[in-house]
Amino acid sequence: MRVLTLLLVLLLVVTACKPNKDQPLDAEVSISPWPPRVQPSRVTVHVPTSLDLVSVQVVGDMTHAGMIPVEAEATRQEDGVWEVRGFDLNMRGDWILTVTAKDRDGRKYVKEVRFTIR
């Protein structure tokens, strides 16, 4: 009986510690001006209005090692539209924008956008 109880407790602990899986973010991400240049730019994220988001974060990483990421919190412009102004695209090369959104229930949604500054 003790072994069964121990196994049940162990199962509950393992299940409770299971990390939440981020959901894909159904969003249209645009950078202005396009094509992107080395300069502060505007990043706009359009999401379905059915998502009740409380925050949207944008992180820009270069694909080669050693670069400090560019991070910014987007501001809500209207239902389904979030924006970062002055996002510092500070170097030529290949970039990955990671957009992470959170809803009121704590769920995370993620989308990656790749582009090159020439």
pLDDT given for residue 21 in this prediction: 85
Q: Is residue 32, in this structure, part of any structural domain at all?
A: yes
Point out the least confidently predicted range of 13-17, 56-60, 92-96: 13-17
Total domains present in the chain: 1
In b/e form, how buried is each residue of 20-40, taking b as 16+ CB within 10 angstroms? eeeeebebebebeeeebeeee
Q: Is residue 97, in this structure, part of any structural domain at all?
A: yes
The residue-averaged pLDDT of 64-78 equals: 95
User: Domain residues for 38?
Assistant: 22-117
Asked if residues 93 and 64 have their Cβ atoms less than 8 Å apart, the reply is yes
User: Is the pLDDT reported for residue 85 higher than 70?
Assistant: yes
Type of residue at 68: I
Alpha-carbon distance 23 to 12, whole Å? 24
Alpha-carbon distance 87 to 67, whole Å? 16
Q: Is residue 26, in this structure, part of any structural domain at all?
A: yes
Q: What is the pTM of this model?
A: 0.82
Mean pLDDT of the chain, nearest integer: 89
Q: Is residue 88, in this structure, part of any structural domain at all?
A: yes
